Every structure is written in structure tokens, then in C-alpha cells.
Amino acid sequence: MLIGSRYNLTEQIGAGGMGTVYRALDVHSGQTVAVKMLKSEALARDPHILQRFMREAEALRQLDHPNIVAVLETIEDRGQHYIAMEYVSGGSLRQLLDSEGHLPLKRALEITLDLADALTRAHRLQIVHRDIKPANVLIAEDGTPRLTDFGVAHIGTAERVTQTGVTIGTPDYMSPEALSGEPIDVRTDLWALGVLLFEMLAGERPFDGSTPAHVIVQVMTQTTPDLEALRPDVPVELIDLIYRMLVKDPAERISSVRLVGAEIEALLHGTPVETTNVLRVKAGTTPYQGRNDTPNGAANPDGATQFVERRFATPTPSGSSVPHNLPAQTTPFVGRIDELTELQRMLLDSRVRLVTIVAAGGMGKTRLGQETAASLLDHFPNGVYFVPLAPIKAADNIVPAIAEAIDFKFRESGRTQKQQLLDYLRSRRTLLVLDNFEHLLSGAPLVSEMLEAAPDMQVLVTTRERLNLTGETLFYLEGMDFPDWEPPEDALEYSAIKLFLLSARRIRPDFELTIEDLPHVTRISRLVLGMPLGVLLAASWVEMLSLREIAEEISSSLDFLESDLRDLPERHRSIRAVFEYSWSLLNEAERDTYMKLSMFRGGFTRQAAQAVTGASLRTLTALANKSLLRRDADTGRYEVHELLRQYAEEALERTGQLDAACAAHSRYYIDFMRQRGPELKGRRQLDALNEIEIDFENVRAALLCAVEDLALDALHEIMEPLLWFCLYRNRYEELHEMHAKLLELVSNRQDAASQQLLGRLLIRLHDPKPGDRAQIERGLALLEPTADQTELGMAYRQLAFTYVHADELQEGMKYLQMSLSLAEAVGDPFYIGRLLDDIGFVYGLMNQPERRKEFAQRSYDIRQQIGDRLGVARALINLGGEAYVAGRFDEARDHLEHARAVYLEMGDRQGVAYSDSNLGGLALYMADLDRAQGFAEDTLANIDRQRNPSATGAALAVLGAVAAVNEEYERGLEIFEEVMSVAGIDFDMRCIAHFGLSGAHAGLGDFDKAAYHLREMIQIGLKMMMPQLVLTALPMAPMVLLARGMTEKAVEVLGAQVTHPSLMSGWIDSLPLLARTEAQLRAEVAPEVFNAAFARGQQADVMALARQLVSDFE
């Protein structure tokens, strides 16, 4: 039969409830195709069936993916409806499984990877398949799968064509939520894919039955069968993934098919399935938005070696490209799934312009608002902005608060600030989150004005009281949360604190919280992690103990949390009673595992849990199912409630296994750090840093255990990677704490191993100063007998900087060269690159710019080659500094912006701030004062001033220069005095400080002090033989000479400046004080005298003129 004048139907090859599939010949092309015909009887039974049939065609047309059956066209012929599709000749996966039982591991992984790729495309287009099963997976001639039958797919933008509550799909592969008639999303496909993968491996479905009703009961009530027993050859990582796909609660199921694909791909490539480097950062909440935008598989901008191409490589979290100011969250967003979904639904409806979350203080409205906003970033292309109103005291300040949040700068004009803001928002599709509005209700009309002025804008408000505006959609929130830092200013706004206060007043009616109590009540709520019963039991002690004592008792003993209140059920009169009931439900293996899990701090991976406890995946899953473990569905990491952990640790100690478990935990994380040591210096640097960051509390616990056990070999192994991690992530306090513990351990031990460890500890100082020289020399003496060239080289490097910081540059250079020779002898490119950069830096201090550039470039090349990204950034800073001093400003800017981008990519806030300080100085030299000020303010907002004095000084100097241009001399004096205090041995910084102080004193009329600072600056330039420093000082000299009556000499200096301009002449020319000085000289000196003196200055030798000025300024 010929249909559509093109397709000749030959034979039936399949049939389903909705249609019949025929093999057909395309008479135009001669190709074999498949044609699906809608059954007329199906259409008669269900008039909606045609819409579903056409939906399938539309879905296939949109998808256009190599692992999805391609649609050719839709046809209506003689009242019948058809879809012409690609013909797939290899049969279905159902047929393959029926003939082979189960599939080889590699084959199952390959099929699953292709299907995950196909579903990634579908889900991206908001298409949920809803009927994934072997019969709907066709096999092509080359063995690759094709996903078909999208007839029951849910398309996100399509109208519903099935009745609410009607189950669609095949029960054997349907998710629990789909069987229950609940709303479904992409996670229903993840369940079905998990069933499919289980069946490919086991040869049987995980939930089976003789009737559909029996199958449904199995799916809803039974646990997933033990796949380890069915297929012992299957990697536990894959079994673990399948279990996460088959979690019955969709909120706890792995959330993305891309994550599934990433793990399948890792298994196929034979690489470890590591989920710990997936930092749990919501889109738009990273501290910095910078990242490496290089696609997976492409070379990075610096020419680094290409990576293996992967379809599902998990990207480093980088946030959305949509502009926003949403704060980075310090904890995962827990619960509130229903509330979040409802708020998303409201705000995705463009007719809902204003949503107000109304709740009592502490119910979590702020956090919920932030999470809602973060989840909707991609729907508001002009930005999502969080406006904290709690600090605002009056409604008049709402407009400036919004402007600050959206980074809008008001202009001096005839329009009011409000009008400027409304005009800015007018054409923007923006979401504003106005947080804590309750005390500013008189300002509510502003919200209406904004919505009227900006028709595409929407507003989400959190408040304790509704705004009472037309069009306001109210969302009432209930629940409990608690503060997770100590002590928050708004502690009383948290529901856990409110519950504590209420419970305490039941015991003592006159109980009141004071400011002094806040740290302790915060600690109490955190110790019980917001557990309502824990809060209530803690509050029952307020009649006998202070809040500080209550917190201390909770931290030391679970048994403290008990009460004799008669209105509490007996099983709830103590935390121990609650836990003991849970404990009684565990079998012996589960108890043993759970006790050993108490060794972990801050969460752990499945691999770590199994290595330390010896538990099977089945046991870990059982503990999670009993709510004793919480598992993150995406990362796979486990967490134990702190009070439960304490209970388990006590039980472990009673069994006598505590020391052995501690040692096992320590060994695992010592090895974890040992493996990442080389990675911290190479291409996996960022991944290694992120992995250590997530498990840092476990690493600290492992170190302390090794200290207690005097495990010197382990301490030797952990020291180097621990040092680099702490330095790279600016964890100086933790580094100092651990360093001190190790020193205490070995300082009085005389055995060789202890003495060697002591030597290594003594030389490992961050940024050694002259006062540290004796300690480093002692460490060097202890290390010399070991002949360890790497350690000796580090000692020489540290010793070098004690001399450099004392301005003994030649001696410092000698030790750096000795260190470099040892690194080259060992063949360690990481330390070679570092030392080359150090040497280049010191050459810069020695005023040898060519040598500085040579060594910095060599450092860059080596670090780039080995993948040391943070080292690359440091070398770029050095190269930028050399170009900056030499006046090659464009080159300097390129280097510094490149360094900043690398620091952003690596998540190094201090590195970004350091780059900003240099860019600010460069912008100042280029007379771009607004940009310079912006960089300087950003630097000071993010820099650790104590740890980065040079960057701090540079940023302050920029602000001082801006103050000078604005003639704010008192402020400039204060700023430049601070610059001088942080300058240290940096002669360039000292000269900048002298220059700024000279101008500030002159502006305030104190020309003697101005002369002193100019003389000091010129003398440094003469001593260092640096004409540029001298030239920089010259512009300030005429005003001092004029004040001393030396007018002709002042004019000579003006002439010298014309012939020999300073590198900083761009912004110096903007100084009003200097312009007035020249104007006064022209007015007071006769023209012929002025011209003659000016000409003499143009011919003068600058260095000779400088020496004269030193004498003149005595």
C-alpha cells in the first residue's frame, strides 16, 4: 500500500497500544524506512490519542540526536495518520535480552552511555520520555542503540493530554512517583534507566511480578535486590550508581542524567569514579564567577596538553552566566522541596509579578528566597539580585539599597535617584529579591512603581507582614531552621532559637535571652543540628545551668540531653533513648559499620567508608534507608548527624575497637593526601584542591590520630601535600595549628626519624622573615645528614628570603641559586619553576629588569608545561610587573588580566585580589582613575591584609592618588602613612609612599615635610641607580622650591620634566596642586627668565639635577 505518494508499506514489524509499525520503501530515495500508523480503534477509544501521536512526531523532530530514532515526516492519507521514521534493522533491546539473558559488562555500559547521551538532549529540551524500556530501545547495524516511542513523552511546554492522576508507561519500569500518579520530572526517566541497566546486568528486572498489580506493590514496597550477589563481577561503583538511580524518593535520587553519564563514562574509560570533586555549589553561588571556559577535550588558552574527550565530564562548578549577586551558601539547601517547587511555579508564570513569602522570623524565608532565585537564574537574562533590607533603617534608603545590589551608579543630573533607578529597570527582565521588608512597609508603594515601570521585571519579597499591594501573591511558610555560624546577628530570627526560647520559658517563665547568651544558644542549636527534640531537652536545663554550661554539657555527653517532663512520652525523655531504639533495630554488621563510621568528620565517600569499615555497599544502603546516614544523591557522599556520631563513637570505645578504627581512618586519609601530593603540582591541581577541601576535616582528624600514634612515616607523607593545600587555599591558621602540634610532638625526641621530621618542620615557614633565620639554620643543620636534596633545597630557599626581607639581596640571591641547583639535580620541575620565579622577583628588586623577565619567562614556560596553574598565575604577575616598570603598559595589562583569569579559574580569592591590586596600579599609571579606584576597592574588600602587604599597599596607594587628584589631603596623608607602614623592603612601595606623603603635606601647607619625603625618594632612586624613580619625584619638586623662594630652579625642574617625562605623568598631570604651581611660576617669573630657566632644565642631566635637589631639600 502506497501512502503519501511516497512510502510503500511492505510488512508489519511491530505493534503497540497506540500504533502499528511497518517496514516501508521510500519510492523516491529507494531507502528502507519505518512507518508508524495510528490505530483507528485506539483513536475511537481515546480522542486525545491523536495529540499524543503527533506529540511523538514533534518530540522526535526536536531531538535530532544520533541515539534517538529520526523522524522523516508526518503524513495524513485517507483519514489515517502516519509517522515516517528511520528504519533500525537490528531489532530491539528486548529481543537481545530475551536471547542472551544478561549482557557483558562493557556492552551494558556502552548502551547505557548512549542512552544517557540521548536523554541528556531530551531533558535539556524539557522532554521526559516516561516509557523507557527494552522494547523502546532499538539496535542499529553497528550495535548502537536508538531510543524510540516518545508517544507518552511529557514535553515541558505542551498542554496536558492525559488526565491528572492517570499513570502512563509500563509498570515494570515506572518510578514510584509515576505509579502513585504524582507529578513527575526527569528523575522518572533516571529510575527507568536504572531498571534497564539492572536488567541488562542481571538478566532480570529488580521488581517483577505475575500481574501489573503485583509489580506495583514490589516497586512501592520492596528494596532493590542485591546486585552484588547476582553479578559479582560488576564493579561496586556501578552497583552503587544503580542503587542511587533506584532510590524510591525522587528528592533523594541522583538528579541528573548527565551525572549518570559521567560515572558510566568514567567506568568505561577505566578511570576512578570520583564524586568528591563535585563541589556542592548551586548555580550562581560561587565566591568568584571566573572559570576556565575551555570545553572538555580542547586545549586550554595557554596551550596545555589536551584532555581525553568525554561527553559527560563533570565541569568545575562555575555558576550561571546571568549577572547576579546571590550570596554563596555555606551549607547545602535541605528540605523545602515542595515550597521551592511552588515558588518556582509561581515565578515562571509571567502574570505573577509579585510573590511575598510571609513567615515568622527564623522560618527560613531568606534562604528559601535565595534558593528560589538561584534556581531561576536562566529565566531572567538581565539578572537576579538579592537586596538585604535588614540593615536599612528607613524606607527612603530602599532605592540606594537596590541600586547597590544591582551595581547601578547614580549620576549627577536633574532626575531623582528613584527616577534613575526606574529608568534603568524599565526594559530589563530582572528578578529582585527584597529580603526582610517588614520594618519598611511604608516603602511598599515603591515595589508597585517598579513593577509598573518595568513590565518584564518580577519581585520576590520576604517579610513577616504582607505588603498589602494589588497583585500581591502570598506564600505562607512554616518550618524550622537554625543558625550555622556563631554568633549571627539575627540569631533570634531562626526557628530553632525561637523554639529554645519558648521551651525555656515553659521551665522558667522569666527567662530572657541577652546579647551575651547568643553565642551559646547558637552553639546549642548547632550541636543538636536543629533537631526539635534536642532543642527542647536542652532548654529543660535552663533552671539549673547557664547557656554556656548547657552547650558544654551537650558537647561532652549525650546523656545530658534528657528530661523528666511528664508531658513527654518516655521514649522522648532523652536523646539516648531515641538513639537506643534506632540502635536496637540494627543487625550486628550494621552496628559494627556504624560504630566505625563515627571516625569520619564532615561527611565521607562510599570508597572511604568501605576502606575504613570493611562494610558492603548493601550495609551502607541499609543504614541510609534507616535514616542513620544521609546521602547526597548527586555527589554520593554520606553524612552522619553529629549527635548520632557521638553515640556511635561511645559504643565503639566500649567495644575496645576505637584505636584500630582511628588508625584505619588515619591510614586511608594519609594515603588520600599522598596520592594528591603530585596532583597539587600538576594538571589535576584544581581537582585535587577541591577533593581535599571537601574532606579537609577528615584529613585533620587523620593527622591528629597519626600524632597520637607517633606514626612518623605517615606524618612525613602528609606534610608536603598538606602544606601546599593550606597555602593554595589560604588556610594559614589551620596550617599554623597543625604545624604547632607536630613541633610539640617531635621537639624533645632524639631518634633519627623524629629529628628529620623536626628539621622539615623548622624550615616550613610561610613567608620567612629575618627573625626566622636562626630557626631555619637549625632545621638545615638537622637535614644535612639526610642528604635529602629536595629538603635541603627548600631550606636554602627559605633562608634566602630571610636575607631578601632584610634587603641583603646578594646574599639572598646566593641561596636561591644554591636551591635551584639542587632542584635541577633532582629534576623536580615544580620546584625549578618556583625558584626561577623567585630569582626573577629578586632580580627585579636588584633593578635588573632583563634578568627578571628572563627568569620569570622560564618559570612560566615550565609551569605551563607541567600544568601548575597557580604557578603560571604567579609567573604572569612577575612578567606583568616587569613590563609595568618598563613602561610596556599594554603587555603588562595582558599578563595581569591573564593571571587574574587563572586565579579565578582556580578559586583563589587572594590571588584575584593580588591581581586586582596590580591592575589598579597599572590603571593609575595610565591615568584611568575610575578603573584604578575600582580595582583598589575590590582588592581591599577581598585581600588578607596581614598576609598580603604588597597588594594591600598597592591598592591603598591608588586610593591615595585618587584622594590627591580630588584634593582630599588629610585623607591622602592617612592613606599614604598606611602605605609606608606596609611597604617593608619593597623600595618601589616606599617611593610611592614618599611621593604621596610629599604631595599630601604640600597640600596641607607643610613644605618642610614635603621636602623631606621628596629627598628620601630621590635618594632611593640615586642609590638604586633607577632614573625612573628620580623622574617620578620631579613633578613634586617645583612646588617645594617655589615655597622656598627658588623660583628659577623650580622652572628648571619643569623643563626637565618635559624632556624626561615620568611613567606616571598621565595621572600626575591631573593633580590640581601641580597645575597651580606652574601657573604661579609663570605669573611670578619674567617671561625671558622663565624661558631661559626652562631651556636649561631641558638640557640638564637628570641624575645630576637630582643630586642638587637632595642638597636643596636639606
The string of pLDDT tens digits covering residues 810-856 is: 999 999 999 999 999 999 999 999 999 999 999 988 889 899 999 99
* Per-residue confidence (pLDDT) for residue 439, from 0 to 100: 82
What are phi and psi for residue 355, nearest 5 degrees? -115, 130
Q: What's the average model confidence in pLDDT over 499-507?
A: 77
* Per-residue confidence (pLDDT) for residue 910, from 0 to 100: 85
Report the range of poorest mean pLDDT among 54-63, 368-377, 566-575: 566-575
Residue 872 or residue 1022, greater confidence:
872
* Per-residue confidence (pLDDT) for residue 986, from 0 to 100: 67
CATH 3.50.50.60 corresponds to the domain 337-476: no
Per-residue model confidence as pLDDT tens digits over 684-726: 999 999 999 999 999 999 998 988 887 888 888 888 999 999 9
Fold held by 93-269: Transferase(Phosphotransferase); domain 1 (1.10.510)
* Per-residue confidence (pLDDT) for residue 845, from 0 to 100: 84
Q: Cα 1070 from chain centroid?
A: 41
* Per-residue confidence (pLDDT) for residue 653, from 0 to 100: 93
- At residue 523 the predicted structure's pLDDT band, cuts being 50, 70 and 90, is confident
Residue 851 or residue 390, greater confidence:
851
Active-site residue flag, 240: no
Give percent of the chain above pLDDT 90.
41
β-partners of residue 757 are none
CA distance 745 to 757: 10
Fold held by 747-825: 1.25.40
SS3 154: strand
Query: Comparing C-alpha atoms, which of 379, 377, 378, 359 is closest to residue 368?
Result: 359
Per-residue model confidence as pLDDT tens digits over 1003-1019: 999 999 999 999 998 88
Whole-model pTM?
Answer: 0.65
Per-residue model confidence as pLDDT tens digits over 1079-1093: 999 999 999 999 999
Q: Which ranges in 207-363 belong to alpha helices (H)?
A: 212-221, 227-230, 236-245, 257-269, 337-348
What are phi and psi for residue 7, nearest 5 degrees? -110, 120
Q: Sign of torsion, CA 1105 1108 1110 1114?
A: negative
What DSSP letter does each residue of 449-517 carry, written as one string?
HHHHH-TT-EEEEEESS----TTEEEEE--------SSS-TTGGGSHHHHHHHHHHHHH-TT----GGG
* Per-residue confidence (pLDDT) for residue 161, from 0 to 100: 34
Answer yes or no: is pLDDT of 1 > 70: yes
CATH architecture of 2-86: 2-Layer Sandwich (3.30)
Report the range of poorest mean pLDDT among 67-76, 429-438, 661-670: 67-76
Strands 145-147 and 384-388: unpaired
CATH 1.25.40.10 corresponds to the domain 906-1112: yes
- At residue 630 the predicted structure's pLDDT band, cuts being 50, 70 and 90, is confident
* Per-residue confidence (pLDDT) for residue 320, from 0 to 100: 52
For 188, 314, 503, the CA distances from 568, given in Å and listed in that order, are: 41, 49, 13
* Per-residue confidence (pLDDT) for residue 627, from 0 to 100: 63
- At residue 284 the predicted structure's pLDDT band, cuts being 50, 70 and 90, is very low
Q: Are 26 and 7 in contact (CB under 8 A)?
A: yes
Answer yes or no: is pLDDT of 217 > 70: yes
* Per-residue confidence (pLDDT) for residue 331, from 0 to 100: 42
CA distance 504 to 521: 11
Fold held by 585-656: Arc Repressor Mutant, subunit A (1.10.10)
- At residue 517 the predicted structure's pLDDT band, cuts being 50, 70 and 90, is confident
CA distance 1073 to 1054: 14
CA distance 487 to 551: 13
What are phi and psi for residue 364, nearest 5 degrees? 90, 20
Q: Which of 46, 98, 117, 131 is catalytic?
A: 131
* Per-residue confidence (pLDDT) for residue 187, from 0 to 100: 93
Q: For residue 994, which amino acid is it?
A: H
Q: Sign of torsion, CA 75 80 81 87?
A: negative
* Per-residue confidence (pLDDT) for residue 843, from 0 to 100: 93
Answer yes or no: is pLDDT of 748 > 80: yes
Q: What's the average model confidence in pLDDT over 927-944?
A: 84
Per-residue model confidence as pLDDT tens digits over 759-777: 999 998 877 888 889 999 9
Answer yes or no: is pLDDT of 512 > 90: no
CA distance 672 to 669: 5
